[in-house]
């Protein structure tokens, strides 16, 4: 298959590695236009705005979310210009969220580079994030689709709500798996869902197509976050776009923590309370956290939930029109899950 390359594993065997090359190829022309629009809309006479925006925009992210918008529009034969502006809007929503997240989480690195807050400060990062949100809504309005505007503006509100919810749940070992899934559905999966849903909206493909693409995006987003949860305890900074172990050090209650805590004995539960609620989270504590997760199969259980979300994403996509666009969107699911294979 064109969307699979082979790499040697550490033990000398060869296994297939999924790639996002299909969606990169499918969307390349339109994404060049998106990138031009992003640079233009990030411009300002206020020198600090383009400086900070360019720092994050050029930091090496895959821009997967706007590619979903382009691919989902192409999937339904859309031939207009609106998908480019909507894709740029999606990327600005995501970028603004990252700027705000890094302030809330007090993160020092993103994708191996210093975060904007560490260079220019928290106030400038928040305000430039607000500027990007304003530019995103300007582009949405220019498209002229009230339905697409409603979907993306609602996503913006839901994401912010999810961030506040996560903040209130931080460092609380009483957080349940159901609560956590609700948080990541809002904080992460909602933008994936909206990005995929607006394609059939502007293509006027009907309610069934909109529901299917929203389901695809939602389940893909859930899988994406669960994969990141696993990688935080065993991946690399390149995989994550941040330091490995950051969630642990910040006291974030992610699914592997919830599952390990629920399965642990009293001494292990005490460890989690001390590490997550009291901030006793040095490198030695991180090593113990990994050992406890391994003992109780918490990482493998999280992987299984991610794989199930990936399967549901593929199921939602299966009824959509066959062709290169559907194949590319399916390859994105395979790529996401393969990061933990």
CATH classification of the domain holding 317: 1.10.600.10
Residue 140 to residue 250: CA distance in whole angstroms: 34
93 within a domain of the structure (yes/no): yes
pLDDT attached to residue 238: 52
Percent of the residues in the chain that have a pLDDT greater than 90, as a whole number: 78
Residue 236's pLDDT is: 52
Decide if 35 is inside a domain: no
Phi, psi of 109 (to 5 degrees): -130, 145
Within a domain: 22: no
Q: What pLDDT is recorded for position 17?
A: 62
Measured CA to CA, the distance from residue 278 to residue 292 in angstroms comes to: 18
**Within a domain: 118:** yes
Residue 338 lies in a domain: no
Q: What is the pLDDT of residues 259-316, one digit of tens each?
A: 999 999 999 999 999 999 999 999 999 999 999 999 999 999 999 999 999 999 999 9
Give the per-residue pLDDT at 179.
94
Asked whether residue 332 is assigned to any structural domain, the reply reads no
CA separation, residue 225 to residues 36, 136, 222, 339 (Å): 29, 24, 5, 12
Neighbours of 168 (CB within 10 A): 10
Please give the model's pTM, rounded to 2 decimal places. Answer: 0.91
Contact predicate 17/331, CB 8 Å: no
d(CA 216, CA 308) in angstroms, rounded, equals 12
CB 149 within 8 A of CB 141: yes
Cβ within 8 Å of residue 175, ≥6 positions away: 169, 253, 258
Q: Looking at residue 80, what DSSP letter applies?
A: S
What per-residue string of b and e applies to 67-80 under the rule 16 or more CB within 10 Å gives b?
bbbbbbbbbbebee
Number of domains in the chain: 1
Q: What is the pLDDT of residue 243?
A: 64
CA angle 108, 110, 112 (to 5 degrees): 95
Q: Could you tell me where the beta strands, DSSP code E, fall in the chain? A: 4-8, 14-18, 109-110, 113-114
Contact between 41 and 91 under an 8 Å Cβ cutoff? The reply is no
Q: Which residues span the domain enclosing 223?
A: 43-326
**Exposed / middle / buried, residue 164 (Cβ in 10 Å: 0-12, 13-18, 19+):** middle
For residue 201, is it within any domain? yes
d(CA 4, CA 19): 6
Q: Which residue ranges of the chain lie beneath pLDDT 50?
A: 1-15, 237, 240
In contact, 264 and 256? CB cutoff 8 Å: no
What length is written for the chain? 341
Report the C-alpha gap between 221 and 194 in whole angstroms: 10
């Amino acid at each position: 298959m064109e969307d699979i390359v082979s790499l040697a594993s550490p033990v000398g065997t060869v296994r297939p590695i999924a790639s996002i090359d299909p969606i990169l190829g499918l969307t390349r022309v339109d994404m060049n236009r998106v990138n031009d629009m992003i640079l233009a809309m990030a411009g300002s006479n206020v020198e600090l705005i383009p400086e900070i925006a360019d720092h994050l925009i050029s930091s090496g992210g895959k821009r997967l979310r706007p590619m979903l918008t382009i691919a989902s529009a192409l999937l339904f034969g859309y031939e207009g210009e609106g998908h480019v502006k909507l894709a740029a809007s999606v990327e600005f929503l995501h970028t603004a969220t990252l700027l705000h997240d890094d302030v809330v989480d007090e993160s020092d690195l993103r994708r191996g580079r210093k975060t904007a807050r560490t260079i220019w400060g928290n106030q400038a990062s928040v305000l430039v994030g607000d500027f990007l949100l304003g530019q995103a809504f300007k582009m949405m309005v220019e498209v002229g689709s009230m339905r697409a505007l409603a979907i993306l503006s609602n996503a913006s509100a839901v994401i912010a709500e999810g961030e506040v919810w996560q903040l209130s749940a931080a460092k609380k070992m009483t957080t349940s798996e159901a609560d956590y899934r609700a948080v990541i559905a809002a904080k992460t999966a909602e933008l994936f869902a909206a990005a995929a849903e607006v394609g059939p909206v502007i293509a006027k493909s009907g309610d069934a197509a909109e529901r299917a693409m929203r389901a695809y995006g939602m389940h893909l987003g859930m899988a994406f976050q669960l994969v990141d949860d696993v990688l935080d305890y065993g991946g690399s900074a390149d995989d994550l776009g941040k330091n490995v172990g950051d969630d642990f050090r910040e006291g974030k209650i992610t699914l592997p923590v919830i599952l390990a805590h629920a399965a642990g004995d009293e001494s292990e539960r005490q460890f989690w309370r001390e590490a997550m609620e009291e901030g006793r989270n040095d490198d030695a504590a991180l090593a113990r956290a990994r050992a406890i997760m391994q003992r109780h199969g918490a990482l493998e259980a999280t992987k299984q939930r991610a794989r199930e979300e990936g399967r549901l994403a593929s199921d939602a996509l299966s009824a959509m029109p066959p062709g290169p666009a559907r194949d590319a969107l399916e390859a994105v699911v395979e790529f996401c899950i393969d990061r933990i294979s």
